[in-house]
Amino acid sequence: MSGGESPGKEKHARAVGARVPVALWIPATLALALVTLPVIGLLLRTDFARLPALLTSEASLHALRLSLLTAAISTVLCVLLGVPLAIVLARSRVRGVRVLRAVVLLPLVLPPVVGGLALLYLLGRTGFLGYLIDVTTGVRVPFTTAAVVIAQTFVAMPFLVVSVEGAVRAAGDDFESVAATLGARPWTVFTRVTCPLLLPALASGVVLSFARALGEFGATITFAGSLQGVTRTLPLEVYAQAEADVDSAVALSLLLIVIAIAVIVLARPRAVEGVRG
């Protein structure tokens, strides 16, 4: 920022400029407390002696397995569909792409319950697509494991798209142009240049969308219901146990928190680094 000065002077200037006004400390502390205290509260409430038993109960294991399975499938779907979408959004010169971009971000800001309801009226028996599928194949999507995956993909997709689209934009198209002039056909350019360049952003997008899928609740319960072993994922299990067996709900919550922290540790550095891997 302040170039051309002697190193000592610069250091001094930075120290003064970087001093945080005292007035900021109070709301900053409050914000930190708001984030950390509930977690501590949960920890205090945890029955650590019974933790292993609670986490390995039949219901917990069902929920855990279902959650990992559906979140993994959703993440794969997010990658397969989201990467091409991100590239199209970043590169296409077609008019109206900007509107499309806003639409893609919708699940990010929409209350998940509303998303679930929308999915239900699209794919439910009375929804036009659901009716069509029911009549032609006899398959009913809502309240199945497939519905869980669809709900998770719906809410998680924007995380992947935003992450990858940003990287495509930041990289510009010179990397690809160079490859073309050096003799690479479009598909070769995609596999040898575009994909490796996007890898860091893709990795952080994958971790974020997996986390979002794993934590999905609102859209799932509306669109897929809460059937043990079929659609009752971890968050839904926590909700179901909150009244029946609080200790079990707390134990599962702890598990979700541990996963969330792992996600932050995994995704943070990459998200900050961006393309310059």
Partner 1 sequence: MAEIVLDKVSKRYPDGVLAVSELDVSVADGEFVVLLGPPGCGKSTVLHLVAGLESISSGELRIDGVRVNEQPPWQRDLAMVFEGYALYPHLSVRENIAFPLRLAKLPDATVRARVGEVAERLDLTEQLDRRPAMLSGGQRQRVAIGRAIVRNAKALLMDEPMANLDSKLRTQLRSSVAELQRDLGITTLYVTHDQAEAMALAHRVVVLRDGAVQQTGTPRQLRETCGE
Q: Enumerate binding residues for partner 1 (CB under 8 A).
A: 93, 172, 174-175, 177-185, 188, 192-193, 196-197, 199, 275-277
Tell me which amino acid residue 172 is.
G
Nearest distance from C-beta of residue 164 to partner 1, angstroms: 16
State in angstroms the smallest separation of the CB of 13 from partner 1. 25
Q: CB nearer to partner 1: give 65 or 192.
A: 192
Q: Which residue, 168 or 255, is less far from partner 1 as judged by CB?
A: 168
Taking the complex as a whole, how short is the minimal distance between the CB of residue 43 and partner 1, in angstroms? Answer: 41
Nearest CA to 180 out of 190, 167, 172 is that of 190
If the CB atoms of residues 197 and 213 are measured against partner 1, the closer one turns out to be 197
Q: Quick one: DSSP state of residue 127?
A: S
Tell the smallest beta-carbon distance from residue 94 to partner 1 (Å): 10
State the minimum distance, in angstroms, from the CB of residue 181 to partner 1: 4
Rounded to a whole number of angstroms, the minimum distance from the CB of residue 163 to partner 1 is 17
Nearest Cα to Cα of residue 215 among 233, 230, 231: 233
Q: Which of 254, 258, 123, 277 is nearest to 195 (CA)?
A: 277
Q: Which is nearer to partner 1, 36 or 191 (CB)?
A: 191
Residue placing its CB nearer to partner 1 in the complex, 166 or 225:
166
Separation of alpha carbons 123 and 41, rounded Å = 40
Cα–Cα separations (whole angstroms), residue 118 to 66, 165, 251: 23, 26, 32
Give exposure, 194-208, as e/b (b: 16+ Cβ within 10 Å).
beebbebbbbbbbbb
Residue 152: name the closest of 239, 235, 251 by CA.
Answer: 235
Cα distances from 176 to residues 115, 161, 181, in angstroms, run 37, 20, 9
Shortest reach from residue 104's CB to partner 1, in Å: 24
**Angle between helical axes of 112-123 and 128-137 (0-180°, round to 10):** 40
- Looking at beta carbons only, is 87 or 114 nearer to partner 1? 87
Q: 34 is written with which tokens?
A: 């708001």
CA distances from 227 to 119, 124, 182, 252 (A): 18, 17, 56, 17
Tell me how far apart the alpha carbons of residues 77 and 156 are, in angstroms, rounded to a whole number.
10
Q: Which is nearer to partner 1, 19 or 185 (CB)?
A: 185
